[in-house]
Structure 1
Amino acid sequence: MSSQPQSSLFDHLLELRNRLLHSVLGVLVVFCCLVYFAQDIYQYLAQPLLATMPEGAQMIATDVASPFFAPFKLTMVLSFFLAMPYILFQIWSFIAPGLYQNEKKLIAPLMFGSTFLFYAGISFAYFVVFPLAFSFFTSVAPEGVTIATDISSYLDFVLKLFFAFGATFEIPVAIVLLCWTGVTEPASLRAKRPYVIVGAFVISMLLTPPDVISQTLLAVPMLLLFELGIMVAALYHKKDPEADPEDIG
């Protein structure tokens, strides 16, 4: 009898290890498929900057290994992003057996909805924010200054913005979880809307470059997603399902 809990814990740890290994393997498979195109992928990422640079200007590599490591690093990060649905499936397969039925109805769409929102944030940054921000940066360069961005510095810059926009696009998911767990309520969040507006611009100021364009382009979607999160949370909050031990499975 005393060995049963230990055996159960070992089984859970073994299952967790297998899920982690499957997730890592999924990322490696995607990486192996993309690594041949690493240079092309970086070229595509650099297009928003190259399109706004003055004629004759180009990107440079100040480190000997940068031409190799920058595309390699980008491909690894991209592989993780593309493998995210498979990683979430592994997470779901691990936690689903211990959830109640009403929890499954909420967690499953939130997990996959969060993936969609993260991709949407990255796409918004690449297709909307980058062209406007880089155009602004190149237009305000002092006369006589040659623009020649280092490829590693550029990669770190855009990855930071990708994560910033991807994370902030998860606001609806965070709001739904907070309301569903009883930490707050939609009505309470609506009452705090003026503070949220100020907080959105403060956060965007900290996460984006020091220009009003990128800051505004992050703050405005944050506010819209905040409103979306309140509307979705209100639907779940009205139902307020009670967990029933018989519903587990």
Structure 2
Amino acid sequence: MNRIKISIYYLQELNYRLTYAIFGTIFLFITTYTYKQGLIFIFLPKGLSHFVSIGLTEIFFTYLQLCTIFSFSFGLGIALIQLYLFLRPGLYAFESKTTFNVLIAAFFFYICLYLFLFPIIIKVLWKIFSSYSQNFIAIDLTFEPRLQDYLTHLQQLNKALTIGFPCLIILNILQIYTSRHILVKYRGIAYITAFSIAAFITPPDVLSQTLIGLPLIIFYEIQLKFWHLHEEYKKNILIRQPIKSYKNSH
């Protein structure tokens, strides 16, 4: 009887946590949809005066897509926090502390990512690809960007950057239980895994898969490089340690 009561109690608490996450996501969606035009203005390239829309309902569904991406992205963070609060009473002290530190690190990682790195990447990519429309002299080639295509490319870039933090966590776990030489030896398997993940979360075209798979490979190589530098640093520290003299040892 007590087990049934405890199970009902935990189910009720889980329902409460799930309700908080759902209502938080809905509130974020309503807020972003209220300020949808200002939200698109944030991601507009500098110097761009207009976008092209060729469908009657394209602007509406573009707004809907943008607000859905934002609300579900932040709603996922709310759901993870609620899941942590639900599981915290049953965790050991070190498990609770480690999970809390991972959540805090993820929070600061994505804040820095979207405040500093994401706008810079958008600016650089826009300058690179928009410059091709200005290199034609013999003919008049006019570049008129389409709003939905632009946001679709931003969504693909967002996927590539979002999965960066979980990949770093997985690589750090592998670093604990494996060695760097094993990860270097099976580097080809890591590349295949990266493009398999890209094929799973992107449309079936080579460009989208490359935009997702290539950053994962870059994260992998950066992790291996930092791991190598850390090993060299530890070797230099051991070499530079003073040797105890015979008198000090007695």
- What is the root-mean-square deviation in Å for CA atoms of aligned residues? 3.9
Encode CA deviations 1:114-173: one digit per residue, 9 max, x unaligned: 233344444566223222222222223484443223212221221121021111233222
Contact 2:160 2:212 in 1 (8 A): no
For residue 59 of structure 1, give the secondary structure of its aligned residue in structure 2.
coil
Check if 1:129 corresponds to 2:127.
no
- The code of the aligned residue for 1:131 comes to K
The 2-side partners of 1:73 and 1:227 are apart by: 38
Name the count of aligned residue pairs.
Answer: 219
Q: Which structure's relative contact order is higher, taking Cα pairs within 8 Å and 6+ residues apart?
A: 1
Which one has the largest radius of gyration? 2
Instruction: Check 1:201–1:91 CA distance in 2 against 1; reply closer, same or farther (3 A cut).
Output: closer
- The code of the aligned residue for 1:43 comes to F
Contact 1:61 1:67 in 2 (8 A): yes
Check if 1:139 corresponds to 2:135.
no
The 1-side partners of 2:131 and 2:211 are apart by: 13
Encode CA deviations 1:13-51: one digit per residue, 9 max, x unaligned: 22222111101111222333332210111122122xx64
Any stretches of 5+ residues in structure 2 without a counterpart?
A: 231-250
Q: CA deviation at 1:196?
A: 4.1
Q: What is the match of residue 5 of structure 2?
A: 7
Which one of 191, 202, 210 corresponds to residue 199 of structure 1? 191
The 1-side partners of 2:35 and 2:152 are apart by: 19
**Superposition TM-score, scaled by structure 1 size:** 0.68
Encode CA deviations 1:81-114: one digit per residue, 9 max, x unaligned: 3455543321111111111112112111112322
Any stretches of 5+ residues in structure 1 without a counterpart?
A: 233-249
Give structure 1 regions of 4+ aligned residues with deviation exceeding 6 angstroms: 204-208, 212-218, 229-232
Q: What is the match of residue 71 of structure 1?
A: 63
Contact 2:159 2:212 in 1 (8 A): no
